[in-house]
Amino acid sequence: MRIPLDRQNPLPLYAQIENHLRQGILSGSLAPETRLPASRQLAQDLGVNRITVENAYSALEADGLVFSRVGSGTYVLPTNPLPKISKTSADASWPLWQQNLPDRGLGARAAVEGMRLSAGHPDPISFAGGVSDSRLFPADDFRKVLQAVMRRDGIDALDYGDRRGYAPLRETIAHILASQGLQISPENVLITAGSQQALALVSQLLLEPGDTILVESPTYSGALDLFRALNFKIISVPVDGQGMQVDLLEKQLQQHHPKLIYTIPNFHNPTGTCLSGARRHQLIVLSDRYNVPILEDDFVGDLRYEGRAQPALKALDPGGRVIHVSTFSKMLMPGLRVGFLVADGPVYDSLVKFKRVNDLATSGLIQRALEDYVTVGRYQAHLRRSSGIFHKRRDAMLVAIQRHLPVGIQIDPPQGGLFLWMKLPQNLSADALLPLAISEGVDFMPGSGFFLEEADGLNWLRLNFVVHTEEKIEDGIKRLGRAVKRLQSIS
């Protein structure tokens, strides 16, 4: 044990030790049953006389804070812990550098988040989430797989593995992508801590603070938060029913010379639209002409319920133009925190090394379990099953909206993915709607968070239509309808 002692302090050493331990026990940070070091040991650790430690211990024992089991040592006794002292609250005594921390947009939309957390309804229904329905994932099978892997690999399952990710899992990913029409080599796959880390690695490797990144407007709020936190200059190209308006892209490339184009070509977050085939080819051409890499976020690319599929941008890449990012979080389970990127050319090796300096590696255990569980056939079956269910849920939400929401609502039914993007009538504000909705027991993601200029999204909101059963969807949208009518009545 390493107790701070001040030999200049007039307070005797035994008292300093006693006070330190007393404070720990009363504050609860020294838990009951914690074994204090043997007095000889602590005396040696602290370079004091053994008697000094014994005096401190017996003072504590006299106050009933510790007790000693003969031959086994001194143990902390249960006590009524004082409330924990958290130092995170604002405080003038913080050093100057703490009072002037860079904001980096990290405070963004705290209000909205806070509001969401304080939902008080007995049975709230949230359409705000960004993930799919994890109840569809057979947790029990996965438990058995974890068992099998630990039995099979023992301690190896818990060691650093290949820094690019567990090789058999990269093989499986290559096979799954091929079954989706994207043929790549496992040598081009890098396993990451979810797709979010992939976005962070790529953008931080290719850009420095002050550099310009081009995104769609609107776009995934988690990407905006990331790019703001990294102090990038962010410019945008609007999205329409065909995805990014690539015809407006060239002018931006000429004017601002962005270092990276971030796009979500399939079932775009939040709008749910898909980039048309013609625009995909155009995008690749522009990326070539202006020497700009493309970061393709394909977070639910294969979750299509109807309509014509377009090839991944990566499948149109003549080589080294597109970095393709995807994840198992949406299709399977968020908590796995396993995503991946596909890159070719020198940038792949740089990304592997950059990942390494950032967190050394991603948990090998989860990767092995995932590899053991996810065969191509199983993945395809899970995908078919989920698509069938989500298709019905999308339709259920469209019907419920027709039934319960006032005329003037604008929606463009998505052909797949997770999200339905809705515009409120009469310039009603989604931010104003949220508290009313929450009081009705329903929750959504206001549009403002998905725009560079939050005002641009004021009338928009995003609904996750895959996460609840059709019954809950009907109920939730009915509540939303009530909230909208209340807002109309007071507007």
Shortest Å, Cβ 420 to a copy of itself: 22
| Residue among 9, 11, 12, 29 that touches a copy of itself (CB under 8 A) | 29
Distance CA 161, CA 233 (A): 36
Backbone phi, then psi, for 143, in 5-degree steps?
Answer: -60, -45
Distance CA 51, CA 56 (A): 9
CA proximity to 191, closest of 398, 16, 336, 41: 336
CA proximity to 296, closest of 305, 287, 304: 287
- Give the nearer residue to a copy of itself in terms of CB position, either 415 or 459: 415
CA proximity to 131, closest of 453, 417, 484: 417
Are 53 and 36 contacting, i.e. CB atoms less than 8 angstroms apart?
A: no
CA proximity to 155, closest of 368, 320, 362: 368
Q: Is 288 in the site for a copy of itself (CB under 8 A)?
A: yes
| Residue among 115, 119, 347, 452 that touches a copy of itself (CB under 8 A) | 347
Q: Is 69 in the site for a copy of itself (CB under 8 A)?
A: no
Shortest Å, Cβ 327 to a copy of itself: 10
| Residue among 115, 119, 229, 235 that touches a copy of itself (CB under 8 A) | 229
Are 378 and 142 contacting, i.e. CB atoms less than 8 angstroms apart?
A: no
Encoded amino acid at 231, one letter: N
Q: Is 377 in the site for a copy of itself (CB under 8 A)?
A: yes
- By CB under 8 A, the count of residues binding a copy of itself is 134
Shortest Å, Cβ 254 to a copy of itself: 16
Type and span of the H or E element at 445: strand 445-446
Stretch that binds a copy of itself, among 364-372, 406-414, 444-452, 454-462 (CB under 8 A): 364-372
- Give the nearer residue to a copy of itself in terms of CB position, either 206 or 484: 206
Q: Is 285 in the site for a copy of itself (CB under 8 A)?
A: no
Q: Is 152 in the site for a copy of itself (CB under 8 A)?
A: no
Stretch that binds a copy of itself, among 60-68, 117-125, 158-166, 405-413 (CB under 8 A): 158-166
Q: Is 376 in the site for a copy of itself (CB under 8 A)?
A: yes
Residues in 240-269 that interact with a copy of itself by CB under 8 A:
259
Shortest Å, Cβ 74 to a copy of itself: 12
Distance CA 98, CA 102 (A): 9
- Give the nearer residue to a copy of itself in terms of CB position, either 348 or 477: 348
Type and span of the H or E element at 189: strand 189-192
| Residue among 150, 285, 398, 452 that touches a copy of itself (CB under 8 A) | 150
Residues in 427-486 that interact with a copy of itself by CB under 8 A:
none
Distance CA 202, CA 224 (A): 14
| Residue among 81, 124, 168, 311 that touches a copy of itself (CB under 8 A) | 311
Q: Is 304 in the site for a copy of itself (CB under 8 A)?
A: yes
| Residue among 52, 132, 186, 264 that touches a copy of itself (CB under 8 A) | 186
Q: Is 191 in the site for a copy of itself (CB under 8 A)?
A: no
Distance CA 446, CA 449 (A): 7
C-alpha dihedral (141, 145, 146, 152), degrees to nearest 10: 160
Q: Is 87 in the site for a copy of itself (CB under 8 A)?
A: yes
Q: Is 70 exposed, middle or buried (0-12, 13-18, 19+ CB in 10 A)?
A: exposed
